[in-house]
Amino acid sequence: MRKNRNRPESDEPLSEGRVEYLEAARQRVRNRRIRRTAVLLVLLTAVVLFATGIAGSSVAALKDLTDTARIALLPGSGWPQQTGVAELEQMAPLTGSFVELGDEGCVVWSRTGKKLNSIQSGYARPALAAGKTRFVLYNRSGNELRVESRTQNLYTKQLENSIFLCAMSDNGTLAVVTEDQTSMAKLLVYSPSMEQQLSWSMTSNDGTPLRMAFSPDSRKLPASRRIAVAAVTANGGQLTTNLYVLALAQGDPVQLGTATSVPQWLGWTSASTILAVYDTRAVLYNAGGGERAVYDFAGTELKDVSVDAAGNVALLLASGQVSQAVTLDKNLNVQFSAAVPAANSIVRAGNLFYLLADNAVECFDASGTQQWSQNLDTSPQALLANSKDLLLFSGNTVQKLEAPAE
C-alpha cells in the first residue's frame, strides 16, 4: 500500500506576510479585550459609587476613577516623545501621569508615553498647582481658573478679582488667593465639587500669601483637613513672613511662627510637621505650633530645593562660582554637605539625588558618593523620578533616562 506523503495544508510553513497578518489579528483581539475590561471596570465603579451615594456628592470623583482605569489599561507607546512644550515653565507629577506648562498652555501625558490632554488657555501669565488626579490652571494677570482632570475640563470659574496664587490638595480641594478691595488679600477654599468652604480676608498685619500647601490627610474627616499658608508683609521696612495653619472645618488661623526672610518652598512632610525653606534657613515646624528643627545656610545663595515624598531634603547652594549640595533627612539632620560640580537644579529621590547641569545629569547617593554621570546633547530642564524609572525633560522632548552601563 502506498503511503500518502502529502502533508495537510495546516502543516505548510507560513509566509512572512501571513505571520504578520495573524499577529495583527491577535493584537486586535487583545485590544478589544482590554477595552471591554476597561468599560466593565468603569461600569462597575459607577454602580458602586451610586450604591454608596458618593456620586451624588461629586461626579468628578467618578471621572477621576475613570481616568485612572483608562491610564492603567490603555498604556502608551513609551519614550521618547515630543510633548510640544519647548520652554518648560512648570512640571508637576500626577497619579500615573504628569502635566507640563509652557508659555502657551499645558499638556498631560501618562507615565507610559500616552498623550491624555492638551489645553490652550491663552492666559498671559499662566501657572498651575497640582494634586494627585487633578490640577488647576490659572491666570496670574486675570481672574479665570480651570480645574482639570487628567483628560478633561471639570470646572471653569471666573472670580471677582485678580488671582495671586492657587493650591490643590490630593483630593481636589482648591485654595485661591485673590485681590480684595477692603483688605490685603482674600483666601478662598473650594470643595472638590467647587462649593465654597472658607473665606479669609487678610489684613496688612496678616500679609499676602506667597506659598500654600494642603496637609496630606485631606482625604480623612473634615476636622483633620488643614492648609499651611506662608504670608509676606512689611514690618518696619523689612519683609516678614507669617506662617499659619488653618483647619478647614473651623477656618480659624493659628500662627506657627515668623521669619525675616522670604519662603522659597513650603510643604507638609507628615500629618504633623511642616517644612518651610526660606532664603537663609530651613525650618521644620510642628503643625500645632513651635519649631522642631532648623538648618541654617546663611551666607550662601539658595539656587534650588527638592523634597521627596518621605520628607528628605536636598539643597543646591552657591557661594560665588562654587556650587554646594546639602542633603538632610526628614528631621533636618545633615547627611552630606560639600562642593559639587556646577549645576542648575537638584532633585531628591529617596537615598539618591540628581544634579542637572548645562548638558549633563549626575547621580549621587545621600552621602555624596557619585553613582554615575551622563552627558546630554541638550540642556536638561527637569527630571521626574519615581520608583520605576527616570523621565528627563529637555527642549520639547521627554525621554527615559537610563544609568550608563559600567
Q: What residues contact 160, with CB distance under 8 A and at least 6 apart?
A: 143, 178
For every residue of 60-119, DSSP letters joined together read: HHHHHHHHHHHHHHS----S-EE-S-SS--EEEEETTEEEEE-SS-EEEEETTS-EEEEE
- Grouping H, G, I as helix, E, B as strand and the rest as coil, residue 355 is strand
CA distance 69 to 66: 5
State residue 40 phi and psi, 5-degree precision. -65, -40
pLDDT above 80 (res 399): yes
- Residue pair 277/263 in contact (Cβ under 8 Å)? The answer is yes
Q: Which pLDDT belongs to residue 53? A: 45
The percent of residues above 70 in pLDDT, for the chain, comes to 84
Q: Which pLDDT belongs to residue 73? A: 84
Amino acid at 392: L
Residue with cell 480641594: 173
Over the stretch 232-280, which tens digit does the pLDDT of each residue have?
999 888 899 999 999 998 778 999 999 999 999 999 999 999 999 999 9
Q: Where are the beta strands (DSSP E) in 237-321?
A: 238-247, 253-259, 263-268, 273-278, 281-286, 291-296, 301-307, 313-319
Any idea what DSSP says for residue 224? Answer: G
- Residue pair 204/239 in contact (Cβ under 8 Å)? The answer is no
Q: Higher pLDDT residue, 54 or 104? A: 104
Entry pTM: 0.84
**Confidence band of 205 (pLDDT split at 50, 70, 90):** very high
> C-alpha 302: how far from its chain's center?
21
Q: Which pLDDT belongs to residue 1? A: 46
- Residue-averaged pLDDT of the chain: 88
pLDDT above 70 (res 54): no
Count CB neighbours of 310 within 10 A: 13
Give the neighbor-by-neighbor strand order of the sheet with 360-365. Answer: 345-349, 352-356, 360-365, 370-375
